[in-house]
Amino acid sequence: MNVPPPAAVLHALPAGARVVVRYRLGEGFTDVLGYLVEAADAEVTVAGRRGNVTVPYHLVTAAKEVPPPPAPRAPRR
């Protein structure tokens, strides 16, 4: 199975696509879920819940497009 590198996945998506990006942070990993702002030559920027997150590609270990968030639930009665 030939899986494209994360940078290729991100470059193929349009700005505004909803994505999740897993990247190295210190000794572990973390994710950012949000909307693709820019897939530049050396880094990717994602608008997450806590603001824009810019990650160099050499730290990215996985990336994919994800579906839109679910609709808000109705209030309890």
Domain harbouring 49, CATH code: 2.30.30.520
Return left, alpha or beta for 51; rule: phi > 0 is left, psi -120 to 50 is alpha, else beta: left
Q: Is residue 74 part of a domain?
A: no
Q: Is residue 72 part of a domain?
A: no
Q: How far is CA 16 from CA 22, 25, 47, 63, in A?
A: 18, 24, 9, 15
In the predicted model, what is the mean pLDDT of residues 39-45?
A: 95
Enclosing domain of residue 50: 6-65
Q: Is residue 35 part of a domain?
A: yes
The answer to whether residue 1 scores a pLDDT higher than 90 is no
Q: Is residue 1 part of a domain?
A: no
Q: Is residue 70 part of a domain?
A: no
Which residue in this structure is represented by tokens 């949000």? 34
Mean pLDDT, the chain, rounded, equals 94
In the predicted model, what is the mean pLDDT of residues 54-72?
A: 94
Is the Cβ–Cβ distance between 43 and 65 less than 8 Å?
Answer: no
Q: Is the dihedral of CA 50, 51, 54, 60 positive or negative?
A: positive
**Total domain count for the chain?**
1
In the predicted model, what is the mean pLDDT of residues 35-62?
A: 96
Q: Is residue 77 part of a domain?
A: no
Provide the whole-model pTM: 0.88
